[in-house]
């Protein structure tokens, strides 16, 4: 695709990078065939090809209309288009660059800015979020239905790690807590520690971990995101030599940390640090698949989060791990399509999100499985609000249904 850059933008390294990405696009339209918003809305500008054209015009004209900005904001950033693109266009990276430039030209409506600010200030603070969750559980019956559905019930089962002689541990990992997961479903990390201590693996945590910056970054609050990212990079880098791996159970956090080198590529100091960190980061499905666990042979419908399937390029890894453990996987249609959660998207774009969730639930429940399993807190909460079949993080399921070994 031929590109030109407005004189005001020519000296920006990220803009040059965006132009290189644009030049790889051959405008074939394969991306539209797998785009959730294009399938739902049928508008060329609500598909990747149309949004690429919007960003191309933004770079050429250094301006954008409110209507064009709304088409960009309706993107889930699920990156399904990346998985199918024959030219290898880095659409997610292009969108991040475009959104940062848009921030300099367009002020979003007040309700969008108000919601974004509140999401960034509450979801990334586990202690505050726990208080809000407790309040929501107490007054659930008084909340609007759309809000009450998203308040998770308190977990009934807890897991205790096995006694471990740390001097004889086979490996030492650092397990990331995450923000929302730490507050909403703390049993997930407890289940991981329970499983790993059974395999003589020492599990450690980062003191005062903080947020990975994913929420701010995808809400276009780039200054705040970079501050959180650099803070976590400093903390992880200081502990890097003392652990074999850094493990994340929330695939949305994991993909962001793995892509720190891309986000920080124009900061030489943090770029080198982020590369060292990214080389040790694994999704929990990558790490646990190295061990032999056996679970009850129950019928499972798997939803692989976009952040794992498209972002981390592991579309079938979760399914293979569960199948190897002994679960029976039922057939699920349209596996590549987003469930509608997409981080904060379900709150900022509830109409589109709810329609996508309804479609996903129909596919997941079609074969009447015993459980629906996923690998990201956002997907888990989004699906659980509407499903008639129990929805769990797959690690919690594995620990709960583990056969004695």
Buried b (16+ CB within 10 A) or exposed e, 238-272: eeeeebbbbbbbbbbbbbbbbbbbebbbeeeebbe
- pLDDT of 131 > 80? The answer is no
* 164 vs 405, higher pLDDT: 164
Q: What is the mean pLDDT of residues 156-165?
A: 73
Going by pLDDT thresholds of 50, 70 and 90, the confidence category of residue 144 is low
What pLDDT does 405 receive? Answer: 64
- pLDDT of 123 > 60? The answer is yes
Going by pLDDT thresholds of 50, 70 and 90, the confidence category of residue 394 is very high
What pLDDT does 124 receive? Answer: 80
Going by pLDDT thresholds of 50, 70 and 90, the confidence category of residue 155 is low
Measured between alpha carbons, how far is 95 from 103 in angstroms, rounded to an integer?
A: 12
Going by pLDDT thresholds of 50, 70 and 90, the confidence category of residue 164 is confident
The model's pLDDT over 209-231, given as tens digits with 9 standing for 90+, comes to 989 999 999 888 889 999 999 99
What pLDDT does 119 receive? Answer: 86
Two tokens at 4? 């030109």
The three-state (H, E, C) secondary structure of 296-357, written as one string: CCCEEEECCCHHHHHHCCCCCHHHHHHHHHCCEECCCCCCCCCCCCCCCHHHHCHHHHHHHH
- pLDDT of 156 > 60? The answer is no
Q: What is the mean pLDDT of residues 362-381?
A: 96
Q: What is the mean pLDDT of residues 124-148?
A: 70
- pLDDT of 118 > 80? The answer is yes
CATH architecture label of 13-102: Orthogonal Bundle (1.10)
- pLDDT of 197 > 70? The answer is yes
Are 202 and 220 a contacting pair, CB within 8 Å?
no
What pLDDT does 147 receive? Answer: 63
Going by pLDDT thresholds of 50, 70 and 90, the confidence category of residue 139 is low
Are 264 and 271 a contacting pair, CB within 8 Å?
yes
Residue with tokens 């390029």, as numbered in its chain: 313
The model's pLDDT over 46-69, given as tens digits with 9 standing for 90+, comes to 999 999 999 999 999 999 999 999
What pLDDT does 304 receive? Answer: 97
Of residues 45, 31, 140, the one with CA closest to residue 86: 31
- pLDDT of 8 > 80? The answer is yes
Portions of the chain given CATH number 3.40.50.1860: 292-400
Q: What is the mean pLDDT of residues 313-324?
A: 95
Are 56 and 68 a contacting pair, CB within 8 Å?
no
The strand pairing partners of 371, in sequence order, are 300
- pLDDT of 310 > 80? The answer is yes
CATH architecture label of 292-400: 3-Layer(aba) Sandwich (3.40)
Portions of the chain given CATH number 1.10.1060.10: 13-102
């Amino acid at each position: 695709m031929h590109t030109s850059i407005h004189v005001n933008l020519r000296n920006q390294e990220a803009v040059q990078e965006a132009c290189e990405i644009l030049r790889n696009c051959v405008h074939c339209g394969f991306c539209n065939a797998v785009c959730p918003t294009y399938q739902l809305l049928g508008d060329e500008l609500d598909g990747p090809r149309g949004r690429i054209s919007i960003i191309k015009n933004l770079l050429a004209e250094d301006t954008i209309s409110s209507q064009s900005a709304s088409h960009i904001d309706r993107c889930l950033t699920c990156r399904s288009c990346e998985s199918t693109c024959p030219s290898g266009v880095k659409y997610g990276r292009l969108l991040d660059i475009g959104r940062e430039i848009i921030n300099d030209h367009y002020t979003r409506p007040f309700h969008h800015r108000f919601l974004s600010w509140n999401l960034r200030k509450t979801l990334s603070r586990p202690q505050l979020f726990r208080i809000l969750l407790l309040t929501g559980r107490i007054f659930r019956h008084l909340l609007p239905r759309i809000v009450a559905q998203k308040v998770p019930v308190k977990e009934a089962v807890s897991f205790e790690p096995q006694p471990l002689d740390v001097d004889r541990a086979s490996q030492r990992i650092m397990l990331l807590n995450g923000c929302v997961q730490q507050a909403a479903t703390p049993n997930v990390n407890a289940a991981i520690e329970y499983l790993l201590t059974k395999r003589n693996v020492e599990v450690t945590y980062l003191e005062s971990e903080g947020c990975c910056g994913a929420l701010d970054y995808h809400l276009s609050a780039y200054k705040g995101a970079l501050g959180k990212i650099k803070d976590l990079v400093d903390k992880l880098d200081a502990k890097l030599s003392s652990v074999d791996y850094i493990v994340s159970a929330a695939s949305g956090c994991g993909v962001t940390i793995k892509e720190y080198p891309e986000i920080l590529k124009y900061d030489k100091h943090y770029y080198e640090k982020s590369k060292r960190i990214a080389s040790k980061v694994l999704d929990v499905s990558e790490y646990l698949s190295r061990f032999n666990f056996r679970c009850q042979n129950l019928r499972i419908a798997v939803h692989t989060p976009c952040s794992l399937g498209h972002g981390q390029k592991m579309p079938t890894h979760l399914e293979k791990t569960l199948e190897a453990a002994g679960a029976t996987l039922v057939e699920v249609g349209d596996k590549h399509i987003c469930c509608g959660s997409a981080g904060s998207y379900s709150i900022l774009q509830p109409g589109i999100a709810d329609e996508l969730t309804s479609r996903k639930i129909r596919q997941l429940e079609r074969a009447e499985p015993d459980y629906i399993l996923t690998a990201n807190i956002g997907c888990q909460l989004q699906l659980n609000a509407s499903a008639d079949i129990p929805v769990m993080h797959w690690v919690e399921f594995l620990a709960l249904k583990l056969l004695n070994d």
